[in-house]
Amino acid sequence: GRTRGGKPPVSPWGKGEVRTRRPKKASNKMIVRRRPNGKNRK
């Protein structure tokens, strides 16, 4: 969640980013994966 102006971290969907990532969570994999850079180039 990138934010500016000293606001609390917020996920791309506008929810407050909660810093409690459990290692064994399935949804965690989707968060860890990096999004393709720009136009999907190498």
Amino acid at the residue 38: G
User: Which DSSP state fits 34?
Assistant: P
Q: Other C-beta atoms within 10 Å of 9: how many?
A: 11
Cα–Cα distance, 24 to 40 (Å, whole number): 29
Residue 3 has pLDDT above 60, yes or no: no
CA distances from 13 to 3, 10, 42 (A): 12, 8, 26
Residue 1 has pLDDT above 60, yes or no: no
pLDDT at residue 15, as a whole number = 64
2: pLDDT confidence band, cut at 50, 70 and 90?
low
Please write the tens of the pLDDT for every residue from 18-40.
Answer: 666 555 665 555 666 666 666 66
